[in-house]
Structure 1
């Protein structure tokens, strides 16, 4: 009797086939993992390249910023240096000009005292004529601001017009620069305004209080003051 074998009835063949299929699946799975790993590596490489590129751009921007700041500071330093040199040159010129003026004033008979030059006239004029002469010299009748200046003006031992008057408003004494009188050195009984005495002179030399009001048309010597510092 002839026996007939069916394919499913061959256990060895089925086992071999299953092993082949399992091996093929394993090979495919390994290849997929390799492909996935390769793709992941490529993605990581690209990400690293992007980050590196960004860092390079950031570094380049930082370098450009630092260079711009450096050049700006250099230009500012140059401008400041030029300004300082110009200021120094101006101060030097002003100093030299002041020296020339001081020398000229000294030669013309002006006397220096505490920031001002003083000129004592050798002729006599009215108060307004005396002031006009001071103004022509670039000065004005003296304004006495301290006891030391009062003592200085008395040492010349001359009757001298000073820059004090109440000609605009009676009894409101003002200096020629428009400031009101605050500290005074009137002689006893002065001012008395006899016969319209609206201008002030230094009349006495020994006492500290030496001022006297006098008629502005009286002809006296006078004292000019030219300030050379505030």
Structure 2
């Protein structure tokens, strides 16, 4: 009865499996199950990244051109600023375009 339920489900997804034996149906179900787990893991990672981004935005970071920037008025040396950035898992940027300069 369980295999028939799985068969019905798999064939409902893809009629290719209509004439396949139980082992092929169960293999397809296993592959589908693994893909669903991969998607669930990916979804968890996306949620984690979103939480980090939201936290950064709430802490004063800004989005520009698909990048996050934190602009501070701290008076540090370049090396101190770089070290602070690296502690945050980021890099100290060099402003290279007029658009970035306007953002700053």
TM-score normalised to the size of structure 1?
Answer: 0.34
Of 23, 29, 32 in structure 2, the residue corresponding to residue 78 of structure 1 is 29
Pairwise CA distance, 1:152: 3.1
Of 138, 155, 165 in structure 1, the residue corresponding to residue 102 of structure 2 is 155
Indicate the residue corresponding to 1:122 in structure 2. 73
Q: Name stretches of at least 5 consecutive residues in structure 2 with no aligned partner.
A: 1-19
Q: Which structure has more RCO (C-alpha within 8 Å, separation ≥ 6)?
A: 1
Deviation readout 1:134-180 (Å, 9 max, x if unpaired): 00111011266xxxx723320145xxxxxxxxxxxxxxxxxxxxxxx
**Correspondence 1:174-189 to 2 at 5 A:** none
Q: Name stretches of at least 5 consecutive residues in structure 1 with no aligned partner.
A: 1-68, 158-230
Runs of 4+ in 1 over 4 A off after TM superposition: none
Q: 1:80 to 1:110 in 2, by over 3 A?
A: same
Question: Residues of 2 paired with 1:106 and 1:121: CA distance?
Answer: 14
Question: Residues of 2 paired with 1:130 and 1:78: CA distance?
Answer: 53
Which structure has the highest helix share of the two? Answer: 2
Question: Residues of 2 paired with 1:85 and 1:143: CA distance?
Answer: 42
Pairwise CA distance, 1:91: 1.8
- Partner SS state of residue 122, structure 1: coil
TM-score normalised to the size of structure 2?
Answer: 0.70
Indicate the residue corresponding to 2:41 in structure 1. 90
Pairwise CA distance, 1:119: 0.8
Which structure has the highest strand share of the two? Answer: 1
Question: Residues of 2 paired with 1:101 and 1:86: CA distance?
Answer: 23
**Correspondence 1:210-225 to 2 at 5 A:** none
Question: Residues of 1 paired with 2:84 and 2:68: CA distance?
Answer: 15
Larger radius of gyration: 1
Size of the alignment, in residue pairs?
85
Question: Residues of 2 paired with 1:83 and 1:151: CA distance?
Answer: 48
